[in-house]
Chain A
Amino acid sequence: MATDTDRLTDYREAVNSENILLLFFLIISAGAYWIARDFTFGGSVFPRLTAIIVFVGCLLVIVGDYLPKSVQPFITGSVEFVDQDEIDPDEESASPEVDTSLPRFQKPLGPVLFTTVMILLYAAVGYAIGFLWATPVFAGVYIYWFDKPLLYVIAIAAIAFAIAYVFISVFGVRLHEGAFVTIGEDLAPAMLALAAIRSPAANGYKRRRRQ
């Protein structure tokens, strides 16, 4: 008879990141196929074709362990030019092996989870209040979390602000505008004026804004 601990282990094994990813692909592909019924024949062929490949592929990976052994190479088969343990073609940038079983430091969130949460928060806050001011806060908090000296925190926050400033003043990207609040409107005209002088792209953008 299965105990509560066994059930919890089974549940944890089922809810791993691979299964979540496969479920995500399944939902997206099924939805895409279903919605494509409203398109014209020419417009629906390609989305349906790709959605079918994703959907069937995900199903095969999910049930792969239960398929006959002779079929499994079709699901997991790969040709090995060299020892696959030594290389990973996906990794253009190689990184040293790091023992991830030990926590890097004692924090409520691990570094990967923290970085992921920070990226999503940064995108959301930047969208809401504009990236000009959200950026130094994001960079400063990120560095502070990793126990760097205060001087580094201030330096990276300043560099991040400078990057935002360059994007606004050189490339004419309206990073200071948030969907709900715009902080730094007084600063922005001067930066955009600079952009108008320097960048043809920014000039074009300014013309579009006037229209």
Chain B
Amino acid sequence: MSVEPLVLQIDAIAGGAEILFSWPTFGWMVLGIILGIILGAIPGIGPAIGMALLLPLSGGMAGENAIILFVSVYLGAKYGGSISAILINTPGTAGAAATTLDGYPMSRNGLAITALSISATASFIGGIIAIVLLFGITPFLRQIVLAFGSPEYFLVAFLGIAMITVVARGGMMKGLIAGAFGMLITTAGFAPATGDLRYASMQHPITLDGIDFVAVLIGVFAVGEMIRLSRESGGIASSIEEGEEGGGALSGSRREGINHVVRNPVTVVKSALIGMGVGAIPGAGTSVSNFVAYGEALRVEENPDSFGEGNPRGVMSSESANSATVAGTLIPTLSFGIPGSGATAVLLGALLLHGLRPGPQLFSEFINITYSFYIALLVGNFIILVVGLTAIAYLGYITKVDTDLIIPVVIVMAMFGSFAVRNNILDVATVAAFGVIGYFMVKNEFSIIALVLGVVLGPIAERNLYRSLQINPHDGIRSFEIFLVRPISVVLLICIFLIIFGPFIKATVIPRVRGS
């Protein structure tokens, strides 16, 4: 495996910097970070909904500008989630769930500003460590990505869905159903390879283009989540603050918060590495990484009883990990098109919408664009640090937004946004239908990330399947032999088999072998 010369890499990185620091790209990045912090801080909104709503609006933007905006929203929202976690005991995003465990007690102990400063500083350091690692990994990643062909990319799509179902609630079979259903609905309209008209009719022109993945994304993430949010009382923040525990007063010290992080480099670095590693596992994402990092910090703590009572190391471990996870999730998303979470699924959708296909292209001819995303994350972390430390006194207001007022606005934006992409009324119907389907899927523990992954990857998987079958000279069922003669394909098949049948083997075969 040969790695590109350092000079070429530096040249590509310089190209990436040139993209980011040009106007209006830099402006989109700053806007994205600020928007992300606000979206992340509002309980119940989060990055996936915000990015889904922005997706159709980004249609007129240059591809690299749009993706930098989305990456920045994603990063900002990860930090924003900690604001509501610390101030009102409600994580704005699942990635900040572990932050509540010590962040809110700190807030109640009169250390809200200290906790928010720890969060901003640990997020900054964790994010920087992960991005530097990402720069180092990319040349090697490129070689792996270039070794993949059509059969491998087809199998990787299924592997991604299988891996997501492993960590999803409700069991693997429901995840597989959701993923396969997502792929099935993308087959409506003209077939990408053969040109067959499928599940559509010439008499109904609106059906000819099939179901748009953007509409499905918006329906599932924006409308479905709004239906779920409608269950909850209007002001989540206000209802909690009016409760017996009261809201955390904004007192404490910025300097003390920064000092806590500086005095605990091992916790921050270790959490960042955990976040990066877990983020690189498709399906795991920040919702897992922050708990793993928190658990590790707790394990090595000399006074474990202090965890849960406002231990600063609890906050910094969770925040360093979830910030580093953002860089980690980019690895499978950009290289193999397997998103690790809802937000990265939308990011993948944005890449495809703007003609940037994950895989070899992003690591060869568009490598400078890929580096511009990394640099956006790098610079974005500095902005988070500055915004986080300077705007602390005002951040609490964001968490008090009445969600009842947000719901109709989000629904309206979702409907219009989907309609704007293709001027097709079918997309409005798709948004409404998948909003309802998405709500009931979540309620019954079907993975909506697997559904979205299926919808986004469906056409790519089908195109790669068709190409794979074309490679093989045999007809009919024998054409599938192509998946058994290529070493990487065989490895992927074994991985898929082990993931799907692993629980079965673990429960039945292994005990029998041990018994005998």
Instruction: Give chain A interface residues in 114-131, CB to chain B under 8 Å.
Output: 114-116, 119-120, 122-123, 126-127, 131
The reply to whether A94 and B94 form a contact with Cβ atoms under 8 Å apart is yes
Cβ A173 vs Cβ B416 within 8 A: yes
Cβ < 8 Å to A, chain B residues 394-426: 404-405, 407-409, 411-413, 415-416, 419-420, 423, 425
Separation in Å of the A109 CB from the closest CB of chain B?
11
Of the candidate stretches B125-133, B176-184, B481-489, the one touching chain A is: B176-184
Residues of B close to A90: CB separation below 8 A: 168-169, 342, 442, 447-449
B465 CB–A CB distance under 8 Å = yes
Check A94–B465 contact: CB distance below 8 A: no
Question: Smallest Cβ distance from A49 to chain B, in angstroms?
Answer: 8
Taken residue by residue from 138 to 167, chain B's Cβ proximity to chain A (1 for < 8 Å, 0 otherwise) reads as: 000000000000000000000000001111
CB pair B46 A94 closer than 8 Å? yes
Residues of B contacting A88 in the complex (Cβ-Cβ under 8 angstroms):
94, 169, 287
Q: Chain B residues near A78 (CB, 8 Å)?
A: 165-172, 503
Given the complex of chains A and B, what is the CA–CA distance between A43 and B174 in angstroms? 26
A3 close to chain B: CB less than 8 A: no
Q: Is B79 an interface residue (CB 8 A)?
A: no
Q: Are B449 and A116 in contact (CB under 8 A)?
A: no
Interface: B194 (CB within 8 A) = yes
Stretch at the interface among B22-30, B380-388, B432-440: B432-440
Specify the chain B residue showing the minimal Cβ separation from A20. Answer: B440
Residues on A with C-beta less than 8 A from B90 are: 94-96
Is residue A182 within 8 Å, beta carbon to beta carbon, of the partner chain?
A: no
Q: How far is the CA of A171 from the CA of B176 in the complex (A)?
A: 38
Q: Which residues of B contact A122 (CB under 8 A)?
A: 411, 415, 432
Residues of A within 8 A of B440 (CB): 17, 20-21
Is there contact, CB below 8 Å, between B420 and A143? no
**CB within 8 Å of B: which A148-184 residues:** 148, 152, 156, 159-160, 163-164, 167, 171, 173-175, 179
- Known contacts: A91-B94, A123-B428. The answer to whether A29 contacts B184 by CB under 8 A is yes
Is A148 within 8 A of B184, CB to CB? no
In the complex, the answer to whether A54 meets B507 with C-beta atoms within 8 Å is: no
> Given A82-B288, A160-B412, A29 and B181 touching (CB < 8 A)?
yes
Cβ–Cβ contact A61 & B48, under 8 A? no
Interface of A is mostly: helix
Q: Which of B60, B405, B465 has the most CB of A within 10 A?
A: B405
> Is there contact, CB below 8 Å, between A89 and B167?
yes
Is the Cβ of B171 less than 8 Å from the Cβ of A156?
no
Please name the residue on chain B nearest to A35 by beta carbon: B199
B462 adjacent to chain A (CB < 8 Å) = yes
Task: Find the B residue at minimum CB distance from A100.
Answer: B231
Give chain B's interface secondary structure class.
helix
Complex CA distance for A126 and B407, rounded to whole angstroms? 18
Cβ–Cβ < 8 Å partners of B462 in chain A: 46
Interface residues of B, Cβ cutoff 8 Å to A: 43-49, 57, 59-60, 81, 89-94, 96-97, 164-174, 176-177, 180-181, 183-185, 187, 191, 193-196, 198-199, 221, 223, 225-234, 236, 240, 278, 283-285, 287-288, 291-292, 295, 341-343, 404-405, 407-409, 411-413, 415-416, 419-420, 423, 425, 428-429, 431-432, 435-437, 439-444, 446-449, 454, 458, 461-462, 465-466, 469, 476, 500-504, 506-508
Known interface pairs A21-B440, A88-B94, A114-B230; 18 further A-B residue pairs with C-beta atoms within 8 A, sorted by A's residue number: A28-B185, A47-B198, A49-B465, A50-B458, A54-B180, A78-B171, A81-B284, A81-B292, A82-B291, A86-B97, A90-B447, A92-B46, A92-B221, A93-B92, A94-B92, A122-B415, A142-B407, A143-B405
Report, nearest first, the 7 A-B pairs whose CB atoms are least far apart.
A77-B503, A93-B46, A43-B196, A76-B171, A53-B180, A74-B504, A92-B48
CB within 8 Å of B: which residues of A?
17-18, 20-21, 24-25, 28-29, 32, 35-36, 39-47, 49-51, 53-54, 57-58, 60-61, 64, 70-71, 73-79, 81-84, 86-96, 98, 100, 104, 111-112, 114-116, 119-120, 122-123, 126-127, 131, 135, 138-139, 142-143, 146, 148, 152, 156, 159-160, 163-164, 167, 171, 173-175, 179, 199-201, 205
24 inter-chain pairs at a CB distance below 8 angstroms, sorted by A residue, are A17-B444, A46-B466, A50-B187, A54-B180, A61-B174, A76-B172, A78-B168, A89-B169, A90-B442, A91-B94, A92-B221, A93-B43, A93-B48, A94-B43, A95-B43, A95-B90, A96-B240, A116-B227, A119-B436, A120-B432, A123-B428, A139-B412, A163-B409, A163-B416
